[in-house]
Amino acid sequence: MVVKDVINNIPENLIIKKNVAMIDATGVYYRDLNSLLRSLDGNGIEKIEICNVYGQRYIGTDLDGHIKIDVYGTPGNDLGAFMKGANITVHGNVQDACGNTMDHGQIVVHGRAGDLVGHSMRGGKIFIRDDAGYRVGIHMKEYLDKRPTIVIGGTAQDFLGEYMAGGVLVVLGLNMKEKVHNARFVGTGMHGGTMYIRGEVRHLGEEVEVTDLKEEDYRVLKSLVDEYCSYYGLDAEKILESKFNKLIPVSSRPYGNLYAY
Amino acid sequence: MKDLTKTNNPYGDEKVFDACSIFGMMNLKGERFSAKDPVRAIANMHDRGNGLGGGFAAYGIYPEYKDDYAFQIMYLDREAKKKTDRLLSESFNILNEEEMPTQEANVRDPPIMWRYFLQPKNSRTKSQAADDYILEKVMRINTETGKAFVFSSGKNMGVFKGVGFPEDVAEYFCLEEYKGYMWTCHGRFPTNTPGWWGGAHPFNILDWTVVHNGEISSYGINKRYLEMFGYKCTMQTDTEVMAYAFDLLMRRQRLPIEIVSKILAPPLWSEIKTMKPENELALRALRQTYGSLLMNGPYTIIVAHEGEMIGLTDRIKLRPLTAAEKDDFLFLSSEEAAIRLVSPMLDRVWSPRGGEPVIGRLESRRAVEVIA
Amino acid sequence: MKSYVSPEYIVERDQDRCIRCKVCVNQCSYDTHYYDEEDDILHSRNENCVNCQRCATFCPTQAITIRENPNHYRSNANWTQEAIVGIKKQAETGGVVLTGMGCDKPNLTYWDRLLLNASQVTNPSIDPLREPMELRTYIGSKPDKLDLEMVEGNGVVLKTKLAPQLRLETPIMFSAMSYGSISLNVHKSLARAASEAGTFYNTGEGGLEKSLYKYGDHVIVQVASGRFGVHPDYLDAGAAIEIKIGQGAKPGIGGHLPGEKVSAEISKTRMIPLGTDALSPAPQHDIYSIEDLRQLIYALKEATDYTKPVFVKIAAVHNSAAIASGIVRAGADAVVLDGVRGGTGAAPRIIRDNVGIPIEMALASVDQRLRDEGIRNQASVIAAGGFRSSADVLKAIALGADAVYIATAALVSLGCTVCQKCYTGKCPWGIATTDLWLTKRINPDIGAKRLAGLLRGWSLEIMEMMGGMGINAIESVRGNRLLLRGVGLTDTELKILGVRMVGE
C-alpha cells in the first residue's frame, strides 16, 4: 500500500480501506491530526473520514490535492484556513473563522457556524446549512474569474459582508420567524462584490444600496441555491420563489473624500 | 498582600494583560454534579491558555455548612497564618477549619491553603450589614500581613485557582471529589509572568465570581469611577474591575442583570434611537449616568453568584461565546467543541448577540435570554 | 515724541511679478500699501505692516513677501527684542501694552509632551471606517445612580428625572467670542456651523444679535461681568447659560472692547454709548464669594425654570481644583476651565503672558480632585485654551474633559493668521472687527462651511485615534489616563497629570 511506505507506523486510530482513510480523533492533538492528514493527502488516498472531532483546529489547511474529508463532531477554529483545494463536509457545527483566507476548495456544513465565516476569502465555496455569527464574509475579495461564494441557509448576525471587495454572499433566512434579518451594519464598508438576501434587512451600512435582481443575478443565484439544496435535500424552487434583495456597493471608492491631500 | 501590584505584576505594567478560555455549566434544578465534566471541557480548550493560570468557581459544594461563610485562604508562610487566625477568631465564630485537601499535580509553588467556616461574631455593630462586615474583614486580611489572601468568602461556594493549566489546578485541589450545581472555569494566557496564585481567575467578592476572556480598553476610567465609590483596585486586572462593577450595580444599587448588561455593554446610539420613547429615555439616561462603566474592548465574561450564572460579551462581539442547553443543564463556553465533548447531544445551541446576557436562574426551567 | 521703535516687518515686493492690480492696496486695512500713479509702482509703509498676510494671500502673482525686520537689537536671552520694544512703547505712551490672541511664549504646551496609545495584539484596534464609533457626548449634571424598573413587556423604564443635558454629536464646541470682538458675520458662521454639526457656539459677553435667535437650540449664552445684552429673552433664547468669572488669556480682569470697535450695532446690542470703551468690570459685582456664586446660579435657573444647564467658566489659576470643587457644590452643571494659552480680542500683554496656568495641569488636577471628593459626576468639565488639533482634543478628554471649547482654531479656519492685532479693530480678514467695510469679507455661507469642515476633519481624526486604541465610545476615553504617556516631563508633572512616563 502506498501509504504504508510513507508512514512507518500506522497509528492505532487510523484504518485504511482501499483509498479511504478513517481516523478516530479522540484525544488527538490538532497538530498530530493535521500532520496525519497531510501525509495521507496526495498518497493515493481520495477520501478521509474523521470522527470524534472535538475542537481540533486548522483541519484542511495546507493540503495540496482535491481530497475529500468528512468531519464528524465539532471541528475547532480556522477550519480550512488558507485552504487550497480540499473538499470538506462537516456533520455538525463549526466554530469561528471557518474558511479563513480560503484560496480554493469547498466546505459544506450540516449545522451552524460561528463568527468570521470566510474571512478574507479569495476563492472557493462555503455552504452553511443553518445560522452564522458575526462578520460573515468580512473582506471577501475577487479577481477576474476567481470569485469566492458563501451561502448561509439561516440568518447571520451583525457586520455581514463588512468591507466586502468581491465575491458572492447569499443569505437565505430559512426558518426565520419574521421575514426580517436582524443583523445590523450589513455591508458596512462594502466596495465590491454582491450579496443576495432572501427577506428584508433591518439595518444597512452606509456604503450599501439595495436593488432588484436582474436576469444574470437570477442565473447566479439559482445555481448557488440549487447547489445548496442538493447538499441538504431541500426544495430549490420554493426558495427561489421568494423575494430576494440584491445588495451592492454605492461606490468602489467609498472613502474618497475622507482625506485632505 | 502588602503590595499586590508588585506580586501580581513584577514589571510595573499598568495592568496584567491576558487572554483565555472560559466555560460555565449549571444545573437549573440545583442538582449537584462533580467537576469531571467542567474540567474536561476547559482542558479541551487547552490551546487558549499557556499554563500560567487556571481556576474554578463552584457553588453548592458545602451543603453541610450552607449558611456559613466559607473562607478559602492562601498563606505564603506560617506567620501570616498565625496573624490571620487571630483576626478570624476575634471577628468570627469558627465552626470548622482545616487545611484544604490537595494532591500532587503539575502546578507551580503552591502556597498553604486553608479553609474556614465562619459566622460573624455578635460583637459587630447592628447597623453594619453582614455583607459589608465580611468585605471589610476580607480587605483587612488581604492587606494586613502581606502574605495572606482570601480567594473566596461566599456561602456554600468556593474558588479554586492557581498557577498551572486548569486541569492541573483541578487535580491539585482534588476537585473531582466536590459536587456543585454550578461550575465556572477559566484557563489563562497572561502576557506577563505572575508567580502568584491570587492573580488567576476567577476573581471573587462575597459570593460573586467572575471569569473573563479579553481585555478592557476602558480599564483606566472604569477603575477611577469605581474608586469614587470606595473600591480599591489593587489587583491591576480587568477581572477585578468587572467584579466590583457587578458588586456596585447588582448588590449595592440593586439593579437587575438586564439593566446591568445595558450599562456594561450598552447598545449603540443608533440602536437606541429606534426604540420606544420610554425605553430610549431610560437607555440614554443609563449611558449618561454610567458612561464611565461602559466596558470597552473585547470580552466575554461569565459571572456567577448564588442561584444565577450570567454570560455576557462586549457590545460588538469581539470575543466568542456559545450557549447551549440539554435537559436541565445550561452551558456557556468560549468554544462549542468543549460543550459537545461533555454533552454530544444538545437541545439548543446558539450565539448570543453582543451586549445581551444569557442568564441561568435556579428557579427557571430554561435559560433566560435577554433580547432588547 | 519721536518713536524709537522700528517697524516689526518689512514688505518686499517682487517688481517683476507685480502687475499693478492694486489688490494689496484694497485689501490692506492698515494702510500699508499705496500706489504711486506717476511712477506706476506700488510702495509699502513698513511701519504699518502687522504681518497679517492678507495681501500676500490675495496677490494674484505672489509678488509679496513679508519679512521680519532683520534689524534686531543685539541678541540677548534676557533682554529680548520684545522686552526692549515693550519698554520703549510704554515710555512713549505711558500706557498698558495691549495685544490679541493667546500667549505665545514657549514651554507652556504640555500636549506636545503627551503621547497616545494604540492597541496591538492583546486587544484589537477597531476599524472606524466600517464599525461604529461613537463621539456623542452629553454635558450636564449626572446623578450617582438611577431609579429604574423592568416593566413586563415594556423593557427598561426610567423613574429618576435627570437635570437638563446638552447633546453634542462631537465633543468640540465653539468657545466664547463676543460680538464686538468679532463681527456679526463670524457669529452667523459659528451659529450655523454649530447647528449643522450638532454642537454649540458660545455668544461671549457681547450679547446675542437678534437674527441669531433662531439658532438658539445650539447657542450657549454668556452672562459676564459687564452683563451686556443680558435680558430675559436672551436667557431663554439659548440652550445653556454660562457665567463667566474669568478667561484664560486674562485671569482676574474683565473683557476689553476698545472704543474703535464699538460701532452702531454694538452700541445697540450692548446698550452702551457709541465709540466708548467697553471695559467689563474685573469681578462680577454680585459674586464676591462662593456662596454668592450659588446665589447667581440659582437665580439664573429660576429665571429659566430649571430647563437649561448653567455653566461656570473660570480661568485656570493656581488653586483651580479647590475652586472647581466649590463651583460644583454651588450647583453648576458644568465647570469650564480656560488655560493660559486661551485667546482674546484684546488684553494687556503682560497679563496674557504672565498670569494663569496651562489647561493641561488645571484639567488634570480638577478632574482628580472632583473624583477624590466623589462629586465628579455632578458637573461636566469643559476644557479650553489653545487647542490646535484633534490630538490636543483627544488628550484633553483622556485627562478628564467631557468636551473642549475652541476659538482660535475656529478663527484660523476662517482666515485668521494669528497676527495678534485684533484690538485695533482693523482685521483685514473681516473677523476681529466691526467695521462694515471689512466685515463683509466674511461670507457666512462660506464661513459656516469652513467651520463645519474643521469640525468634521477633527471628528474623523478623533475616531481614527480612538479606533486605534481599541475603543468605540468616547465615554471610554474620558478620564482614562492610562491612554497617555508623558515624555520629557518631571516626576512632579507626571504626578499631577496622573500619567506615566513613556516606556512604563
* Length of chain A in terms of residues written: 261
What is the per-residue pLDDT across A15-68, written as a single tens digit (0 to 9) for each?
A: 888 889 999 999 899 988 998 998 888 777 889 999 999 999 999 988 877 899
Domain limits of chain C?
A: 9-95, 139-143+155-501
Confidence bin at B1 (pLDDT 50/70/90)? very low
Residue B6: the pLDDT is 47
Q: Are B162 and B110 in contact (CB under 8 A)?
A: yes
Residues 271-300 of B with CB under 8 A from C: 275-276, 278-279, 281-292, 294, 296-298
Residues 332-371 of B with CB under 8 A from A: 335-338, 340-341, 349-351, 353-354
b/e per residue C86-123 (b: at least 16 CB within 10 A): eeeeeeeeeeeebbbbbbeeeebbbbebbebbebeebb
Residue B4: the pLDDT is 47
CB contact under 8 Å between A162 and C129, yes or no, is: no
What is the per-residue pLDDT across B344-365, written as a single tens digit (0 to 9) for each?
A: 999 999 999 999 999 999 976 5
By DSSP bridging, strand C240-244 and strand C219-223 are: parallel
Closest residue by Cα to residue B257 from B132, B369, B129, B131: B369
Looking at residue A81, the DSSP 8-state letter turns out to be T
Question: Between chain A and chain B, how many beta carbons pairs sit less than 8 Å apart?
Answer: 55
Q: Residue C305: helix, strand or coil by DSSP? A: coil
CA distance, residue A206 to nearest chain C CA (Å): 9
Q: Is residue A11 part of a domain?
A: no
Q: Is residue A68 part of a domain?
A: no
* Chains in contact with A, where contact requires at least 3 CB pairs less than 8 Å apart: B, C
What is the C-alpha to C-alpha distance for residues B109 and C72, in angstroms, rounded to an integer? 73
Q: Is residue A157 part of a domain?
A: yes
What is the per-residue pLDDT across C409-456, written as a single tens digit (0 to 9) for each?
A: 999 999 999 999 999 999 999 999 999 999 999 999 999 999 999 999
Looking at residue C7, the DSSP 8-state letter turns out to be P
Q: What is the DSSP string of C113-181?
A: GEEE----SSS----TTTS--B--EEES---SS--EEEETTTEEEE-SPPPP-EEESSSEEEPP--BTT
pLDDT at residue C11 greater than cutoff 90: yes
Higher-pLDDT residue of C265, C440: C440
What is the per-residue pLDDT across C458-484, written as a single tens digit (0 to 9) for each?
A: 999 999 999 999 999 999 999 999 999
By DSSP bridging, strand A104-109 and strand A84-91 are: parallel
Note the Cα C415 to chain centre separation in Å. Answer: 15
Spell out the residues 6+ positions from residue C324 whose beta carbon is closer than 8 angstroms to its own.
Answer: C314, C335, C337, C366, C369, C370, C381
A214: amino acid identity, one letter? K
Which residues pair with residue C347 across a beta bridge? C99
> Which of A139-148, B147-156, B324-333, C220-229 is predicted most confidently?
B324-333
Q: What's the CA dihedral at B57, B59, B61, B67 to 10 degrees?
A: 130
What is the C-alpha to C-alpha distance for residues C343 and C223, in angstroms, rounded to an integer? 19
Which residues pair with residue A168 across a beta bridge? A149, A194
Higher-pLDDT residue of B20, A201: A201
Q: Are C371 and C416 in contact (CB under 8 A)?
A: no
What is the per-residue pLDDT across A195-253, written as a single tens digit (0 to 9) for each?
A: 999 999 989 998 999 999 999 999 999 999 999 999 999 999 999 999 999 999 998 77
Residue C259: the pLDDT is 86
Q: Using CB atoms within 10 Å of the CB of residue C161, give its burial: 0 to 12 exposed, 13 to 18 middle, 19+ buried.
A: exposed
What is the C-alpha to C-alpha distance for residues C335 and C324, in angstroms, rounded to an integer? 7
Q: Give me the number of domains chain A comprises.
A: 1
The grid coordinates listed for C271 are 446698550
A129-133, B4-8, C202-206: the lowest-pLDDT one = B4-8
Residue among B255, B256, B270 minimizing CB distance to C132? B270
Residues from chain A that touch B44, judged by Cβ atoms under 8 A, are: 54-55
Distances (CA, A) of A121 to A101, A185, B43, B320, B349: 4, 20, 31, 20, 26
Closest residue by Cα to residue C470 from B295, A255, B225, B120: B295
Residues from chain A that touch C132, judged by Cβ atoms under 8 A, are: 185
CB contact under 8 Å between C482 and B220, yes or no, is: yes
* Length of chain C in terms of residues written: 504
Task: Read off the pLDDT of each residue in C136-142 and give the average, rounded to a whole number.
Answer: 97
Reported ipTM: the value is 0.90
CA distance, residue B216 to nearest chain C CA (Å): 8
Confidence bin at A121 (pLDDT 50/70/90)? very high
Q: Is residue A76 part of a domain?
A: no
Is the Cα torsion angle B322, B323, B324, B329 positive or negative in sign? positive
What is the per-residue pLDDT across C210-234, written as a single tens digit (0 to 9) for each?
A: 999 999 999 999 999 888 888 888 9
Q: What is the DSSP string of A164-232?
A: -EEEEEEE--TT-SSSEE--SSBTTT--EEEEEEESEES-B-TTEEEE---HHHHHHHHHHHHHHHHHH
CA distance, residue A172 to nearest chain C CA (Å): 24
Residue among C130, C457, C460 minimizing CB distance to A189? C130
Residues from chain B that touch A26, judged by Cβ atoms under 8 A, are: none
Residue C266: the pLDDT is 87
* Length of chain B in terms of residues written: 372
Q: What is the DSSP string of B163-221?
A: SS-HHHHHHHTTGGG-EESEEEEEEEEESS---SGGGSSPEEETTEEEEEEE--TTHHH
pLDDT at residue B126 greater than cutoff 90: no
- HEC assignment per residue over B34-95: ECHHHHHHHHHCHHHCCCCCEEEEEECCCHHHCCCEEEEEEECCHHHHHHHHHHHHHHEEEE
CATH architecture of structural domain C9-95 = 2-Layer Sandwich (3.30)
Confidence bin at B13 (pLDDT 50/70/90)? low
CA distance, residue B351 to nearest chain A CA (Å): 7
Q: What percent of chain C has pLDDT over 70?
A: 100
Q: Residue C281: helix, strand or coil by DSSP? A: coil
CB contact under 8 Å between A95 and B337, yes or no, is: yes
Catalytic residues of B: 20
Q: Using CB atoms within 10 Å of the CB of residue B266, give its burial: 0 to 12 exposed, 13 to 18 middle, 19+ buried.
A: buried
The CATH class that applies to domain C139-143+155-501 reads alpha beta
Closest residue by Cα to residue B298 from C59, A165, A134: A134
Residue B185: the pLDDT is 95
Q: Are A130 and A104 in contact (CB under 8 A)?
A: no
What is the per-residue pLDDT across B257-309, written as a single tens digit (0 to 9) for each?
A: 999 999 999 999 999 999 999 999 999 999 999 999 999 988 999 999 999 99
pLDDT at residue C408 greater than cutoff 50: yes
Confidence bin at B372 (pLDDT 50/70/90)? very low
Residue C269: the pLDDT is 82
Average pLDDT, chain C: 94
CATH, residue A208? 2.160.20.60
What is the per-residue pLDDT across C348-387, written as a single tens digit (0 to 9) for each?
A: 999 999 999 999 999 999 999 999 999 999 999 999 999 9
Question: Containing domain of residue A157, as a range?
Answer: 112-252
Confidence bin at A255 (pLDDT 50/70/90)? confident
* Residue in chain C nearest B216 by alpha carbon: C123
